[in-house]
Structure 1
Amino acid sequence: MPATTTVSRATLNRTTLARQALLDRADESAATMIERLVGLQAQEPLEPYVGLWSRLATFAPAELVGLLERREAVRTLMMRRTLHLHTAADALRFRPVHHAMIVQRTASVRAREISGLDPDRLAEVAEPRFDEPRTTSEVARAVAAEWPDVPIPALSDLVSVVVPLVQVPPRGIWGRRAAARNLTLAGWLGDVEPAPAEEVLDELVLRYLAAYGPATSSDVRAWSGLAGLPAVIKRLRPRLRSYRDDAGRELLDLADAELTPADRPAPPRFLPAFDNVVLGYADRSRMIDDEHKHHSVAGARFVLLDGRVAGVWTSTGDAESGVTVEIEPFRPLPQRERTALTAEAERLAAFLGDGTEGRVSYLP
């Protein structure tokens, strides 16, 4: 296909949904899906369960619980300095190339409070304190004597990034609430020699495009938080295909990847908070209108209708009483659309209620 081919926003939308298994649920394992998406946002510890349920043909919470308890999946800081759920192999492979960015972003936010603090020295004294699961605040208080002028919240924030950490179970276990206690990534998964950075960055960009493409180089940076990607993209160009979007910007994609037709039907879907299918771009217009994009950074759980964000949802209740899924559409819903959305919401309520039949309500 010629480099000048223009890909419409509607085609980008359907292609993204297809690659994210949000058109047709995938008949694959939770671990495979986590790898396919290059991780799931996990700032809210239980949200990845909904992200997997919306994408997998058969998914029960026990599957992800098992991955976490067997140390085959972990919750750790990664892209954009946010918590992500990754397979163990990806966490070990990708954290080294993100580490400097994670530390730099935190140090920049806390610059006034941590003046004179050496991050390497903090890592040296903090790491041994994670010999058993601890909160970062506990460790910050334990080492605070060396930095008496640094407030504990700032020191805790720095501790959370200068040492690569994993939030260990029971944090993130379905049906449980637990403090964010941490062990080191190496202590939890084993110490592994980092792969060459160029090799890892090439893989990261290629896997991003496989799951989120076609996308601009700005999209790749916005998703990852990493600088220095132009050199990676230059190195990868022989393996990529180039398009243009409606605004004339270059879109990159895998050379053998297919586009999904814009007229492909898109069923209703429910997204968890901070889902990367919305957040994973500099230009989020393929998924959400500008007038609603402020919801994406506020942790709203989105409703997709005809492939686009068309409302938000919340849930109340539990397995004993039944879960109510409450939907607030951004626009009036035709009866056909409302019927399909209600049916999907009923399935979601049953999932959240561990099989107990739930309810669906709509806000005006």
Structure 2
Amino acid sequence: MLTLRDLNRATLARQLLLERHELDVLAAVRRLVALQAQEPRPPYLALAARLASFDREDLHGALHSGQVVRGTLFRGTLHITLAENFAAFRPLVQQSLAAAMRRFDELDGDAVVEAAVRLLAERPHTFNELRARLQQEFPDAYDRALGYAVRMLTPLVMMPTDDRWGFPRESAFGLPGVPMAAPDLEAFVERYLAAFGPATVADVQAFSGIGALKKVVYGMRDRLVALEDSSGRELFDLPDAPRPGGEAPAPVRFLPDFDNLVLGHADRTRVLDDAFKGEVTTKNLRVRAVFLVDGFVAGTWQIKRSGKKAKLLLTPFVPVKVAELEEEGLRTLRFAEPDAADFALEVVA
């Protein structure tokens, strides 16, 4: 039987959070499957929390070379992943993304996609540009529906720039430049378990947004290990995946908004106590940046910037010792605000 702490430590091990790792960006992103990228900066902070030697230019370079891309993937949200993985993962979620178009049944989605692909083959477009051009071809259509159809039905990637965090406020989108692969749900389940396991079928579905996976996972039982948690739930894992045990030490870590550690499971109690869920995920579905103490979410953090002064504001959920948070907190703050000159931590109520 796996205790809560056993699950916590196993997940932290998969997520590169029990120690900083000597991996390059491509190896780290491959290991993590994908990084939530609703905003440009969080993937940089996510890697900085996990890697021993990481510089902003490392991810910058991988994005500009096209080895890493940012596009719509799991749960219809933006993620950063390897280009080859985007080609493998996007077809898996296409059905669920297409289902979101039912609200616009009157729109000929296939025709819109055909027109959009033709326009994007010319050059990348922002969505404002693309909607305007599509409106010329579909004058009776609602312009927002046109943009939504393209986003949901067409595999697109965002074009990186020289902005500090890789992308401007309004990014241009283009075609991915790699052919989409044949869907392989079993391969995806293995990748998910390597990054987030041990996990239930519901966990895999919650992270991916793909439904009806029970048959797929149960069909893989001869290749997986079946485990049980303290509530009697059945979990699955890869036979040789790390499960270091609940007594393994877990360092303080500061994770960015929307980090997949918080979003990776249907049952998040392995890292986040139910009592604090509402403090982390807001009513408008923003997932706040969190810090970990002994492997579990102990509070949220945000940055206050004034001139050359940068301050890390901590909102703890449990009693914390600021001295134990200071080294890692200041490291995070210096990475997030590289042009500041003065750095400090402050606990707020």
Give TM class, smaller chain: over 0.9
Q: Distance in 1 between matches of 2:310 and 2:78?
A: 27
Tell me if 1:153 matches 2:147: no
Q: Distance in 1 between matches of 2:240 and 2:263?
A: 25
1:13 and 1:172, CA in 2 relative to 1: closer, same or farther beyond 3 A?
A: farther
The offset of 1:256, in angstroms, is 2.1
Q: Distance in 2 between matches of 1:268 and 1:96?
A: 37
What's 1:142 paired with?
Answer: 133
Superposition pairs of residues 36-47 of structure 1, within 5 angstroms: 36-47=31-42
What's 1:329 paired with?
Answer: 316
The offset of 1:316, in angstroms, is 3.0
Superposition pairs of residues 7-18 of structure 1, within 5 angstroms: 7-18=2-13
Matched-pair contact (CA < 8 Å) for 1:75–1:83: yes
Q: Distance in 2 between matches of 1:315 and 1:162?
A: 36
Tell me if 1:120 matches 2:110: yes
Matched-pair contact (CA < 8 Å) for 2:256–2:290: yes
What's 1:61 paired with?
Answer: 56
Q: Distance in 1 between matches of 2:208 and 2:318?
A: 32
Matched-pair contact (CA < 8 Å) for 1:42–1:48: yes
Structure 1 segments, 4+ long, off by >3 Å, are 145-150, 175-178
TM-score for the superposition, normalised by structure 1: 0.89
Matched-pair contact (CA < 8 Å) for 1:273–1:299: yes
Structure 1 unaligned blocks of 5 or more: 1-5
Q: Distance in 1 between matches of 2:21 and 2:254?
A: 15
* Residues 47-99 of structure 1: per-residue CA shift (max 9 Å, x gap): 10000000001101010000011111110111111100001111122212222
What's 2:294 paired with?
Answer: 306
Percent identity over the alignment is 36
Matched-pair contact (CA < 8 Å) for 1:74–1:167: yes
Tell me if 1:269 matches 2:215: no
Letter in 2 for 1:323: A
Q: Distance in 1 between matches of 2:29 and 2:140?
A: 41
Q: Which residue, out of 14, 18, 24, partners 1:19? A: 14
What's 1:207 paired with?
Answer: 191
Q: Which residue, out of 46, 57, 81, partners 1:51? A: 46
CA RMSD of aligned residues (A): 2.0
Superposition pairs of residues 344-355 of structure 1, within 5 angstroms: 344-354=328-338
Structure 2 unaligned blocks of 5 or more: none
Letter in 2 for 1:196: A
Shifted more, 86-95 versus 59-68: the winner is 86-95
1:256 and 1:176, CA in 2 relative to 1: closer, same or farther beyond 3 A?
A: closer
Q: Distance in 2 between matches of 1:206 and 1:285?
A: 22
Q: Distance in 1 between matches of 2:200 and 2:71?
A: 26
Q: Which residue, out of 180, 196, 208, partners 2:171? A: 180
The offset of 1:175, in angstroms, is 7.2
1:327 and 1:342, CA in 2 relative to 1: closer, same or farther beyond 3 A?
A: same
Matched-pair contact (CA < 8 Å) for 1:323–1:349: yes
Matched-pair contact (CA < 8 Å) for 1:136–1:157: no
Aligned length: 343
